[in-house]
Amino acid sequence: MRYIEPHAHMVSRTTDDYEKLALAGCEAICEPAFWAGFDRSSPQGFYDYYRQLTDYEPKRAAKFGIPHFCWLCINPKEAEDAGFAREVMALIPEFIDKPTVLGIGEIGLNKNTRSELAIFEEHVQIALDRDLPILIHTPHLEDKRKGTKLMLDSLANFGSLDRNRVIIDHVEEHTVDLVLDQGYWAGMTLYPESKCTPNRAIDILETHEGARLWLNSACDWGISDPLAVVKCGFEMKKRKHSAEQIDKILFENPKRFLSQCPNFELPSA
């Protein structure tokens, strides 16, 4: 079973996890810029983080034959202080042309504040100015639908935005239609304890056409499973999905979206 891991915070994982991903058939890893498990105290912390994403992690993944790509931004959990956020965003141009950078992400909202929304919109403009795809984080639990609607309303104001080059991640049953109906891609994040379980994600797949859906395993600082995507593929097999259907969701869909990123290329493709 081949698959792409399109949203993995590998800086939080051990080298053993890379080995497990390689053995499971992972063809590529895409890592969004996110939270370090704590709030960074200076832009210099982000500078070193961007170095880690664009230099160290690709080398670590290459030891296991897996191409590693990344997205750049200041994540919404640290965007409440707009002055600090803009200092960090000023670092992005130095890294955005690195050969493994896919685009801007994961931007979005955490607590649905005005400051977060302002920084979100400034990130979108960076992506438009650079003609790059966008990966968007939606908030958790009771704030998810509200935050998703706030961002969709905001995105509607960007007349030149190509919605087919934007993926809105962490959708659940109550937000997936909002995203797909407006022409965006939707990502389902698999967690053992929150967001989508594999069976919930498959339920969503079975009630939607699936052309603009992908699965990701998150694998971040909390309780999470770096093999969640491939395990979901096995659950799809148990539920009588064909090999072609499984390949479409686990491999072809993320490949189709990510191929819109100038730097995305699979050695085996």
10-residue stretch averages of pLDDT, the chain, 269 residues long: 91 90 96 90 96 97 97 94 96 98 96 96 98 95 92 98 97 96 96 79 93 88 84 96 97 97 86
Q: Which among 183, 217, 214 has a CA at the least distance from the CA of 197?
A: 217
This prediction's pTM: 0.95
pLDDT attached to residue 268: 62
Which residues, at least 6 apart from 19, have a Cβ–Cβ distance to it below 8 Å?
64
Burial class (CB in 10 A: 0-12, 13-18, 19+), 32: buried
Condensed to tens digits (0 to 9), the pLDDT of residues 176-208 reads 999 999 999 999 999 776 668 889 999 999 999
Q: Tokens 């939707």 map to which residue?
A: 186
